[in-house]
Amino acid sequence: MLVTFLGCGDGFSVLQGHNSALFEFDETNLCIDFPESNHLGLHRLGMQLNQIENIFITHLHEDHINGLQKLALFHRVYPGKTKPKLFVPAGLKDDLWQCLRHGLELTTRGKLAFEDYFDIVCVEERFMIAGFTFELVQTLHVPEMLSYGIVCKPHFYFSGDTRLEERFILDVAGEVRTIYHECHMQDDHLPSHTSLDELLTLPEAVQEKLILMHYVDDYLDWGTREEFHAKHKVRLAEPLVRYD
Ligand SMILES: [Zn+2]
Ligand SMILES: [Zn+2]
């Protein structure tokens, strides 16, 4: 399994792509979330939008879904090997179509449905791709908003957008090698995100498993990253680098 961040930026990021990770397996791939900035990220990897075969959506904030309309239209105009399969938490499916339908429903060939663009798999608890099992974990992002992370044992936990759930992180750290965790790196604390200060209170053995994502543009510069890495055990996700 190869992992590449197509973007690691937060919702207001200008210079980095918004947060999204591409997992590549022998025969297929999976993208977690699909912001519009993925188009450029994929282009830089030498890939086309129609090569994306599976997508999982963590929640409906626009920086996580605003590339889906383009992806859907691109696949219709330039069909890839397969119609894209969209794994969507069951409770998000109808609302996701409401976000997308204004640009997808009416076409020159008549009215189309969500299912005309994607093979939709409503996920209750888990789904499988290429022999790997991905379990949904509900996260604490915004009160009453459905939002999810994913555990793929024994490989990784991917937090999506969330506040820190310390008990869960301590438990899951015993079951996976890597934890991709969102991190609001600025000094102000946001009630819907996890701050660096909070992550630095975790035991060192857990911090060593942490790769931070969904962070502000201030850390793009090589020198700033080096300085950060010299000071901390946690690591910053590096965009467009293929990790094994
Ligand atoms: Zn976000
Ligand atoms: Zn969000």
Model confidence over 137-158: pLDDT tens digits? Answer: 999 999 999 999 999 999 999 9
pLDDT digits (tens, 9 = 90+) for 53-103: 999 999 999 999 999 999 999 999 999 999 999 999 999 999 999 999 999
Tell whether the model's pLDDT for residue 236 goes beyond 90.
Answer: yes
For every residue of 114-159, DSSP letters joined together read HHHH-EEEEESSEEEETTEEEEEEE--SSTT---EEEEETTTEEE-
Q: How far is the CA of 26 from the centre of ligand 2 (A)?
A: 31
Which one of the ligands is nearest to 147 CA?
2
User: How many Å lie between the centroid of ligand 2 and the Cα of residue 11?
Assistant: 7
Q: Are strands 54-56 and 148-152 parallel, antiparallel or unpaired?
A: unpaired
Task: Write out pLDDT tens, residues 156-213.
Answer: 999 999 999 999 999 999 999 999 999 999 888 889 999 999 999 999 999 999 999 9
What is the CATH number for 15? Answer: 3.60.15.10
Q: CA 218 from chain center: how many Å?
A: 20
Q: How far is the CA of 141 from the centre of ligand 2 (A)?
A: 7
CA of 10 to the centre of ligand 1 (A): 6
Residue type, 103: G
Domain count of the chain? 1
Query: Can you give the residue range of the structural domain that contains 173?
Result: 2-243
Pseudo-torsion of CA 117, 94, 123, 79, nearest 10°? 10
Compute the distance from residue 58 Cα to the ligand 2 centre, in Å.
9
Helix and strand tally (H, E) in the chain?
Answer: 9, 16
Q: Distance from the CA of 110 to the center of ligand 1, in angstroms?
A: 34
Cα separation of 202 and 139, whole Å? 18
